[in-house]
Each structure stands twice: as structure tokens, then as C-alpha cells.
Amino acid sequence: MTVTYGWRGDFDNAAVNALHAEGFDHPPLEIDWLSQLRRHSLGWVCAWQEGRLVGFVNVAWDGGVHAFILDTVVDRRCRGAGTGTALVATTAREARAAQCEWLHVDFDDDLKRFYFDACGFTPTDAGLIRL
């Protein structure tokens, strides 16, 4: 089945909440994603298959040259088929078009192969404070 991708496309908050809950293994929340993204993000990418949301990534930014990948999630039934890689590739293309020079991502150890091998990120030193 064909998956289509949309930059800053319309979506239903309930669909993103359900996808996020499945992908990150928590109960569905009632987040107003669309308002939050319009207020704080460079953009977002949605992946659809037969009208169903099957992938999502939020692209935050600093208002300048740095973009940040957040909340990347793919429906379990679509994993391993290139959907996540295409989401990230679309993100990189659109961030570049917005004249960003850097695309940042952080992730759990089990996603190293995805981000480094499939998506082309390179390891860097970084710091983090858990709040």
C-alpha cells in the first residue's frame, strides 16, 4: 500500500494522540497538537496510508539555523517499510528549504541504527539535563 507524506498537513488531534500513545506505549492523551505545532514548530510531517495517519514527526526550531526532530512515531504495522526514513528525509528537505543549517535529533539507544544508518545522522557529543 502506498504511503503519502505531507509537510505541515492538516490532521486530527485524536489521530496523532492515538498514534503517539501506541508508539510510545502510554494511554492516549488529549493534546492539542495542531495549536502547539503552529505556535512552536517550524513544521511537521504526516504520513498517511489509505486516509489513516501512520506516521508523524514534529520539527521544532530555534527560529534560525537549527531544527530539531521530536516525537517521531510510526504505526507498528508500517515499521520496517521505510516510513520512518521517509518522514526524516522529508523533514531534512523542508528544514533545508527553510534555510536551516543543522538538523538535530536525540533518541534512545535502540534507535541508533535507524538514525545513523537509515537516516544518515552522524554521532556528536551533546549534553542533557533531566528536569
pTM for the structure as a whole: 0.91
- 33-40 vs 13-24: helix crossing angle, rounded to 10: 90
Residue 54 has pLDDT above 80, yes or no: yes
Residue 1 has pLDDT above 80, yes or no: no
Contact 54, 47 (CB under 8 A): yes
The pLDDT value recorded for residue 11 is 92
Q: In what side-by-side order are the strands of the sheet with 41-49?
A: 3-7, 41-49, 52-61, 66-74, 102-105
CA angle 74, 81, 40 (to 5 degrees): 30
Domain 3-118 matching CATH 3.50.50.60: the answer reads no
> Residue ranges of the domains in the chain?
3-118
